[in-house]
Amino acid sequence: MSEARTTSAPAADSATLVRVRGLHFSRGARKIYDGIDVDIPRGKITAIMGPSGTGKTTLLRIIGGQWRPADGAIEFDGINVHQQSLDGLYTLRKRMSLLFQNGALLTDLSVFENVAFPLREHTKLPEAAIRDIVLMKLEAVGLRGARDLYPEELSGGMSRRVALARAIALDPEMVMYDEPFTGQDPISMGVLMRLIQSLNRSLGITSVIVSHDVDEVLSIADHAYVIAGGQVLARGAPDEIRASPSEYVQQFLKGRPDGPVAFHYRAKSLADDLMERA
Amino acid sequence: MQSRALEILVGFFVCLGVAAVFVLTFRVASLDSVGGGDKTYRVSAEFQNIGGLKAGAKVSLAGVAIGRVRDISIDPSSFQAKVTMDISDQYSKIPEDSSAKILTAGLLGEQYIGIEPGGMDDYLKNGSEITLTQSALVLENLIGQFLASQNGSSKDDKLADAIGKLADSLQSKK
Amino acid sequence: MRGGVLTVLSNFLSGLGQAQFFLLSVLRAVLPSLLRPALIVRQLYMIGVLSLIIIVISGMFIGMVLSLQGYHTLVQFGAASSLGVLVALSIIRELGPVVTALLFAGRAGSALAAEIGLMRATDQLSAMEMMAVNPMRYVIAPRFIAGVIAMPLLTAIFCVMAIGVAGGHAIGVGLLHVDAGSYWTQIRANVDLHDLLQALIKSLVFGAVVSWIAVYQGYTAPPTSEGVSRATTSTVVVSSLSILALDFILTAFMFR
């Protein structure tokens, strides 16, 4: 019912699926976002990069409606995520998926049942149809043969691929990837990159990748943001990012140990500190 | 999905638990004795002293439980204890001139009411009163009597008399 | 110093308040979750069936030791035939519900807290939320319901074990030669439905409280190994203390 309403809602800018405006968010005393604007274009791969601890994952959780911002508006296809009731939010979440860093598979269910889980919860499909869909999704990530394994028998890369199959089980409009490449060997990193790309190209799924693996992400992204210190430092196509004049961005891209982002955590001078004990 | 063995185990567990509840209700608790649902009629009796009788104590006839004490109050005019009891309808033919005694189960046990049947052809019915009553035997009074008799005269026959009385009254409660 | 005490106090109160709100949301999820019996059956297995062995064995030994101790005291008064009453009343009124609940907290409560804590730590709960599945309904409420159902059943099994099958009866009648007839008739004359009802009420309350504490501790555990281990420990500690305190309160209420 609300599904019909959302699709018929006139999207002011139909090229943009998610629109973040003036987002403020703090955890405890620490300010994570200080009024940022982000646009996620429909059908494209958007990369969100930044040093560890800048709250990239936080952004995904805010878009998914799990956490509530202190201020600002997040619209998904023209619907304000944080003004929804729980039911409305759940309707919205069926249209998006979040791939967690470690996969977050349900450990008491087999691979097959993990992928079938959203189908069983949200559809009334007969068992045969569920089986067909699950096998197709597992085939897409190349793990049809692993359907009877349990999550603890999978490697990290395989877990993420199963989680990806689960994330696309309901054919969402958008998949958000939280650090998909962290801790992967080069082969499974390559597999994941190709998967993300092919899902985007073949199914037109809007993709958001949060990562700090700069080269890998920029090689598949259509559009990228660099976020640090609660601000958007650079935005644009990968080439524009690489050519950014900002010292900060350059330090991040090149991985220099010192620069605008100081190597040292904020402290008084070493000499003062040493003198103090004497 | 759900493995069959698991369902069977859970079914077994629930059966076991329910069976245990049944065992407790029917074997351990006395569901079949007087108390619960069956119909009763109410009879009252006045006693000089009820000792330690409490509401809920059993009313017995020839040792068989036939009812329970419902309520204990003081009759404001006579200052006697008025005990009302519920007696099961299945024992409806108790002669009207029966007497009621307060007895003790064992030496230190609970007190209960014993009905001794009379000989009349009219029967107790709802609201009737048992007029012949015997109060509870209060151990202190008995011992007091015994000591008094011992002090008063040291004659052996008096002592023997008192001991005999004590023994009698204890025996009668069995 | 005073500030420290105030912080501890306010932390305690806010924790208590959070737990109440948590209970409310669990209760709200109970009804929808009852429509998913398969989930509850699975939890009944984890919570009930797997606790069976410890309950049966403890029931037997507690009945046995009670019988042994009671016999030696009663026999001095020539009241050995009342052994059955002694065992049955102590078990049904107190030891049955309380010991079952304590064992349940140690066996099932700690496992619940650790499981939910780990699900939180590995983002499984968040993943469910993002899949538009309410973890309150899918994870928490079925476990809570199963705990409330399992506790009275386990208590009844414990009581039967302790009084009858292998506990009091075996020692009293088998070893100490108390007459089996008087063992049982004495029990039947002195235990009534009121006692059983009290045991039932106690075990229902204990079941709800232990399950509540366990799922709350697990759900709010910090997503670290230390957080999960602490949640497990405090489940057992807080549950045990609550059981003992509530037992006193319930007994005082019901015996008047």
Position C56 pLDDT exceeds 70: yes
Residue A8 pLDDT class (50, 70, 90 cuts) = very low
Mean pLDDT (whole number) for B130-149: 78
Q: How far apart are CA A187 and CA C214, in angstroms?
A: 42
Closest CB from C41, C44, C193 relative to B29: C193
Which of A226, A196, A192 is closest to A208 using CA atoms? Answer: A196
Position B38 pLDDT exceeds 70: no
**Closest chain A C-alpha to C245 CA, distance in angstroms:** 36
**Residue A93 Rama label (left phi>0; alpha psi -120 to 50; beta):** alpha
Terminal Cα-to-Cα distance of chain C (whole angstroms): 42
Mean pLDDT (whole number) for C153-173: 82
Q: How far apart are CA B79 and CA B61, in angstroms?
A: 27
Q: What is the pLDDT of residue C54?
A: 93
Q: What is the pLDDT of residue A114?
A: 92
Q: Residue B7: its chain C contacts at CB < 8 A?
A: 41
Residue of C nearest to B21 (CA): C156
Interfacial residues of C (vs A; Cβ cutoff 8 Å): 118-119, 122-124, 126-134, 138
Q: What is the pLDDT of residue B29?
A: 65
Closest CB from A105, A106, A122 relative to C132: A122
Using alpha carbons only, how large is chain B's radius of gyration in Å?
23
Q: What is the pLDDT of residue A272?
A: 82
Q: How far apart are CA B44 and CA B85, in angstroms?
A: 6
Q: Residue C156: its chain B contacts at CB < 8 A?
A: 17-18, 20-21, 23-24
Q: Residue C123: its chain A contacts at CB < 8 A?
A: 100-102, 104
Mean pLDDT (whole number) for C145-174: 85
Q: How far apart are CA B135 and CA A200, in angstroms?
A: 97
DSSP 8-class letter at B110? -
Read off φ and ψ for residue A200, nearest 5 degrees: -70, -45
Position A10 pLDDT exceeds 50: no
| Least confident span in A10-19, A189-198, B36-45 | A10-19
Mean pLDDT (whole number) for C193-200: 87
Q: What is the pLDDT of residue C243?
A: 94
Mean pLDDT (whole number) for C235-247: 94
- Give the chains touching B; criterion: ≥3 Cβ pairs < 8 Å: C
pLDDT, chain C, mean: 87
Position B108 pLDDT exceeds 70: no
C99 CB neighbour count, 10 Å cutoff = 19
Residue C113: both structure tokens together = 């807290």
Burial class (CB in 10 A: 0-12, 13-18, 19+), A220: middle
Q: What is the pLDDT of residue A27?
A: 80
Position C11 pLDDT exceeds 60: yes
Position C123 pLDDT exceeds 80: yes
Q: What is the pLDDT of residue B106?
A: 67
Mean pLDDT (whole number) for B7-18: 86
Q: What is the pLDDT of residue A7?
A: 41
pLDDT, chain B, mean: 78
Residue C232 pLDDT class (50, 70, 90 cuts) = very high
Residue A83 pLDDT class (50, 70, 90 cuts) = confident
Residue C156 and residue B28: Cβ atoms within 8 Å?
A: no
Owner of token pair 């992928």: A115
Mean pLDDT (whole number) for A156-173: 89
Full-model pTM:
0.75
Position B35 pLDDT exceeds 80: no
Position B19 pLDDT exceeds 90: no
Q: What is the pLDDT of residue A11?
A: 46
Residue A249: both structure tokens together = 């961005």
Residue B20 and residue C38: Cβ atoms within 8 Å?
A: no
Using alpha carbons only, how large is chain C's radius of gyration in Å?
21
Q: What percent of chain C has pLDDT over 70?
A: 97
Residue A5 pLDDT class (50, 70, 90 cuts) = very low
Q: What is the pLDDT of residue C240?
A: 95
On whether any CB of chain B is under 8 Å from the CB of C56, the answer is no
Q: Residue C124: its chain A contacts at CB < 8 A?
A: 104-107
Closest CB from C44, C79, C152 relative to B10: C44
On whether any CB of chain B is under 8 Å from the CB of C59, the answer is no
Q: Which helix (H) or strand (E) holds A131?
A: helix A127-140
Mean pLDDT (whole number) for B136-154: 72
Instruction: For chain B, positions 117-146, list CB contacts with chain C under 8 A.
Output: none
Position C1 pLDDT exceeds 70: no
On whether any CB of chain B is under 8 Å from the CB of C38, the answer is yes
Residue B34 pLDDT class (50, 70, 90 cuts) = very low
pLDDT, chain A, mean: 84
Residue C189 and residue B30: Cβ atoms within 8 Å?
A: yes
Mean pLDDT (whole number) for C227-244: 94
Q: What is the pLDDT of residue B159?
A: 65
Q: What is the pLDDT of residue B37?
A: 52
**Closest chain A C-alpha to C198 CA, distance in angstroms:** 37
Read off φ and ψ for residue A133, nearest 5 degrees: -65, -45
Position C79 pLDDT exceeds 70: yes
| Least confident span in A80-94, B145-159, C54-68 | B145-159
Which of C46, C245, C233 is closest to C149 using CA atoms? Answer: C46
- A64: helix, coil or strand? coil
Q: What percent of chain C has pLDDT over 90?
A: 40
Closest CB from C119, C127, C133 relative to A100: C127
Residue A254 pLDDT class (50, 70, 90 cuts) = confident
Q: Residue C197: its chain B contacts at CB < 8 A?
A: none
On whether any CB of chain C is under 8 Å from the CB of B20, the answer is yes
| Least confident span in A211-220, A238-247, C161-170 | C161-170
Residue C103 pLDDT class (50, 70, 90 cuts) = very high
Mean pLDDT (whole number) for C8-16: 83
Residue C133 and residue A94: Cβ atoms within 8 Å?
A: no
CB A193 within 8 A of CB A216: yes
On whether any CB of chain C is under 8 Å from the CB of B33, the answer is yes
- B129: helix, coil or strand? strand
Position A250 pLDDT exceeds 60: yes
Q: What DSSP line would sit under B69-82, residue for residue?
A: EEEEEE-TTT--EE
Mean pLDDT (whole number) for A148-158: 89
Residue A118 and residue C133: Cβ atoms within 8 Å?
A: yes
Q: What is the pLDDT of residue C253?
A: 85
Residue C52 and residue B29: Cβ atoms within 8 Å?
A: no
**Closest chain B C-alpha to C252 CA, distance in angstroms:** 19
Residue B2 pLDDT class (50, 70, 90 cuts) = low
Q: How far apart are CA B11 and CA A63, in angstroms?
A: 44
Q: What is the pLDDT of residue B156?
A: 63
Q: What is the pLDDT of residue A246?
A: 82
Closest CB from C41, C150, C163 relative to B7: C41
Q: What is the pLDDT of residue B173?
A: 53
3-state SS string over C201-230?
HHHHHHHHHHHHHHHHHHHCCCCCHHHHHH
| Least confident span in A41-55, B98-112, C111-125 | B98-112
Residue A100 and residue C123: Cβ atoms within 8 Å?
A: yes
Q: Residue C56: its chain B contacts at CB < 8 A?
A: none
Residue C165 pLDDT class (50, 70, 90 cuts) = low
Position C124 pLDDT exceeds 50: yes
Q: What is the pLDDT of residue B145?
A: 79
Q: Residue B31: its chain C contacts at CB < 8 A?
A: 193
Sign of CA dihedral C58, C63, C66, C72: negative
Q: How far apart are CA A241 and CA A254, in angstroms?
A: 12
C20 CB neighbour count, 10 Å cutoff = 11
Q: Please name the amino acid found at residue C208.
A: A
Q: How far apart are CA A187 and CA C78, in angstroms?
A: 84
Interfacial residues of A (vs C; Cβ cutoff 8 Å): 61, 64, 66, 86, 89-91, 93-94, 96-98, 100-102, 104-107, 117-118, 121-122, 163, 166
Mean pLDDT (whole number) for A261-273: 76
On whether any CB of chain B is under 8 Å from the CB of C196, the answer is yes
**Closest chain C C-alpha to A176 CA, distance in angstroms:** 11
Q: What is the pLDDT of residue A243?
A: 84
- A272: helix, coil or strand? helix
Q: Residue C160: its chain B contacts at CB < 8 A?
A: 20, 23-24
Which is more confident, A83 or B35? A83
Position A1 pLDDT exceeds 60: no
Residue B13 and residue C156: Cβ atoms within 8 Å?
A: no
Residue of B nearest to C92 (CA): B24
| Least confident span in A43-52, C75-84, C139-148 | C75-84
Instruction: For chain C, positions 197-256, list CB contacts with chain B under 8 A.
Output: none
Which is more confident, C174 or A192? A192
Owner of token pair 């020692």: C171
